[in-house]
Structure 1
Amino acid sequence: MQQDGLILELQNGNQRAFERLYELYSESIFGIIYSIVQDEKIAEEILQDVFLKVWDNAGSYNSDKGRFFTWILNIARNASIDELRSKRHKNKQKNLKADNFVNVLENSTHFSNRTDAIGIKKYIAVLKPVCKKLIDLLFFKGFTQKETAEELKMPLGTVKTRNRACINKLRELLAE
């Protein structure tokens, strides 16, 4: 069955279509969630919550507004960021042992591997370095625009403008 047919069946409450869509997307969505929360158990919990939301809200998906994967990705990203901002997560961070704060240098393939998990590696690769960094912080690490501005030591307005330009460039590349 084609993806559009699966989505239609999902919207009609077909459990098998839901299971098939889970098989198709769960690994990639888990990768995105994990890249934000950095905790396997929490990522698994969020993944289950995301797919419950997909099941419960399937009727709200509109293909005219974007791709199905993007819709699920936004649900996952928002759920992951909500977790990072939750009291539970903040309290857990306060109780971490000192050895959890040892800096681990990220190799150059780390970001590359995460983008490959959702199939946009080849598109991200052609973007300017500033776009790669913005997309990494805003979409894969869950930073707010304000936090990104602080991290990159640039004005908030510049972050917003560059982010918009980078996303537009990525859209152009995806449309080709």
Structure 2
Amino acid sequence: MTTLKTKYSEEELVTSLKKNSKQAFEYLYDNYSASIFGVICKVLKNEEKAEDVMQDVFLKIWKKIGDYDPSKGRLFTWMVNIARNASIDQLRKEKNVWFDDIDQAVGQVDKISNFQPQTNLIDLRGLLEKLKPERKVLVDLVYLQGYTQEEAAEILKIPLGTAKSRIRTALQDLKTFFNI
């Protein structure tokens, strides 16, 4: 009986993915799908279409992992670019989409992938201050510093389920702040 590996360094993850490890791919999906889905939704502005594109994106990641070059950037950035391009392709397939809308959506995603927390998140940090401290620290670790939920739970020495629940609640709180 083999046990599932619960944590990978980025290098170990990429190596395992290139060896077509099902366990590594499941880990990748579990730890990155929420962020990738957010990027896709940002472009498409339609959850149903985003779910379809999401499936295509992870299939492309699986098939093209051999093309990933760590010297050119982090794995997450590479995946965001795949998600961004797949989302733009979906927009272009739709008959009633104007190119200005695509350019605007691309600009929004480019801001996400070229994110500079020190200078661009003053307002977001203000919103984060409204969160309870135990939620704020998790959102900061996962969404601003790039840790996985598992890594953040380990850093804070809390159970993974607790970390996930707090993050989910924090995101719901932030959603109310934005009146979405």
Q: State the TM-score bracket (shorter-chain normalisation).
A: 0.5 to 0.7
Alignment equivalent of 2:95, drawn from 87, 90, 93: 90
Alignment equivalent of 2:120, drawn from 125, 146, 152: 125
- Give the letter aligned to residue 54 of structure 2: L
Alignment equivalent of 2:43, drawn from 12, 25, 36: 36
Could you report, residue by residue, the CA deviation over 1:112-165 in whole angstroms, capped at 9, with x for unpaired residues? xx95xx7946246169xxxxxxxxxxxxxxxxxxxxxxxxxxxxxxxxxxxxxx
Match of 1:20 in 2: 27
Q: Would you say the 8 A contact 2:10–2:75 is kept in 1?
A: no
CA distance in 1, matches of 2:73, 2:40: 20
Structure 1's 84 and 19: CA in aligned 2 closer, same or farther, altered over 3 A? same
Structure 1's 13 and 40: CA in aligned 2 closer, same or farther, altered over 3 A? same
Alignment equivalent of 1:53, drawn from 57, 60, 63: 60
Q: Would you say the 8 A contact 2:61–2:79 is kept in 1?
A: yes
Could you report, residue by residue, the CA deviation over 1:25-79 in whole angstroms, capped at 9, with x for unpaired residues? 1100100100100110110111110000000111110101111111101100000
- Structure 2 alignment gaps of length 5 or more: 1-7, 98-107, 123-144, 146-180
Misfit runs of 4+, over 6 Å: none
Q: Secondary structure at the match of 2:38?
A: helix
Q: Secondary structure at the match of 1:20?
A: helix
Query: What root-mean-square deviation, in Å, do the aligned CA atoms of Structure 1 and Structure 2 show?
Result: 2.8
What is the count of residue pairs matched by the alignment? 105
Q: Percent identity, please.
A: 43
Structure 1's 120 and 29: CA in aligned 2 closer, same or farther, altered over 3 A? same
Deviation at 1:90, TM superposition (A): 2.0
TM-score (norm 2): 0.52
Structure 1's 13 and 29: CA in aligned 2 closer, same or farther, altered over 3 A? same
Structure 1's 38 and 126: CA in aligned 2 closer, same or farther, altered over 3 A? closer
- Give the letter aligned to residue 47 of structure 1: M
Deviation at 1:3, TM superposition (A): 2.1
Alignment equivalent of 1:71, drawn from 58, 72, 78: 78
- Structure 1 alignment gaps of length 5 or more: 94-110, 128-173
Structure 1's 119 and 25: CA in aligned 2 closer, same or farther, altered over 3 A? farther
CA distance in 1, matches of 2:17, 2:74: 15
TM-score (norm 1): 0.53
